[in-house]
Structure 1
Amino acid sequence: MHTEKIDTIIIGGGLSGIYAACLLAKKNKSFILLEARERVGGRILSTEHQGFFSDLGPSWYWPSINPKIVHLIQVLGLKSYRQFEEGMGRFQTPDGTVRTVRGYDMSPPCRRISGGMMALITKLCENIPENAIQLNHPVCEIKKHSSGAVVSVGELEKESKARFNAKNIILALPPRLAAATILFTPDLSHDLTQAMLKMGTWMAGQAKFCALYEEPYWRQTGLSGQAFSQTGPLGEIHDGSNDNQGPYGLTGFISIPAAQRNHPQSLTSAILSQLAAIYGKPADQPMAVYYQDWARERFTATQFDQPPMHEHPLYHPPAGKTSIWDGIIQFAGTETDTRYGGYLEGALAAAERAVTKLQQFSSATNCFGLT
Structure 2
Amino acid sequence: MPTETVDTLIVGGGLSGIYAACLLSRKKRSFVVLEARGRVGGRILCPAHQGFCSDLGPSWYWPAIHPKMANLVQTLGLRGYRQFEQGLGRFERVDGTVQTVSGCAMEPRSWRLCGGMTALISTLCETIPDSAIRCNHPVCRIEKTTDGVRVSVGDLEKAPRCRFKAGRVILALPPRLAAATILFSPDLSHGLTQAMLKTGTWMAGQAKFCAFYESPFWRESGLSGQAFSERGPLGEIHDGSNDRGAPYGLTGFVGIPAVQRNQRQRLDDAILCQLGAIFGSPAARPSEFFYQDWAHERFTATPFDQPPMVTHPCYQPPAGKTAIWEKTILFAGTETASRHGGYLEGALSAAERAVSNA
**2:340 matched to 1:349?**
no
Superposed, 1:273-292 pairs within 5 Å as 273-292=273-292
| SS across alignment from 2:273 | helix
* Identity over aligned pairs, percent: 68
* Cα distance in structure 2, aligned partners of 1:252 and 1:332: 28
Instruction: Give 1:224 deviation, angstroms.
Output: 0.2
The equivalent of 1:226 in structure 2 is 226
Superposed, 1:2-41 pairs within 5 Å as 2-41=2-41
* Cα distance in structure 2, aligned partners of 1:67 and 1:250: 28
The equivalent of 1:363 in structure 2 is none
* Cα distance in structure 1, aligned partners of 2:246 and 2:233: 26
* Cα distance in structure 2, aligned partners of 1:71 and 1:6: 30
* Cα distance in structure 2, aligned partners of 1:231 and 1:154: 43
The Cα offsets for residues 114-157 of structure 1, whole Å up to 9 and x where unpaired, read as 00000000000000011000000000000001110100000000
Instruction: Give 1:2 deviation, angstroms.
Output: 1.1
Following TM superposition, where does structure 1 have runs of at least 4 consecutive aligned residues deviating by more than 6 angstroms?
Answer: none
* Cα distance in structure 2, aligned partners of 1:27 and 1:72: 17
Instruction: Give 1:338 deviation, angstroms.
Output: 1.2
TM-score, structure 2 as length reference: 1.00
The equivalent of 1:314 in structure 2 is 314
* Cα distance in structure 2, aligned partners of 1:243 and 1:265: 30
TM-score, structure 1 as length reference: 0.96
The equivalent of 2:196 in structure 1 is 196
* Cα distance in structure 2, aligned partners of 1:139 and 1:56: 25
The equivalent of 1:64 in structure 2 is 64
Unpaired runs of at least 5, structure 1 = 359-371
The Cα offsets for residues 72-121 of structure 1, whole Å up to 9 and x where unpaired, read as 00111111110000000000000010010000110000100000000000
The equivalent of 1:250 in structure 2 is 250
| SS across alignment from 1:5 | strand
* Cα distance in structure 1, aligned partners of 2:244 and 2:357: 43
Instruction: Give 1:55 deviation, angstroms.
Output: 0.2
The Cα offsets for residues 27-86 of structure 1, whole Å up to 9 and x where unpaired, read as 110110000000000000011010101100000000100100001001111111100000
Instruction: Give 1:244 deviation, angstroms.
Output: 3.3
Aligned residues: 358
Unpaired runs of at least 5, structure 2 = none
The equivalent of 2:186 in structure 1 is 186
* Cα distance in structure 1, aligned partners of 2:149 and 2:285: 54
Amino acid at match of 2:49: H
Instruction: Give 1:265 deviation, angstroms.
Output: 1.3
The equivalent of 2:239 in structure 1 is 239
**2:312 matched to 1:304?**
no
* Cα distance in structure 1, aligned partners of 2:348 and 2:244: 29
| RMSD (CA atoms) | 0.5
After the TM superposition, which of the residue ranges 263-272 and 17-26 deviates more from structure 2? Answer: 263-272
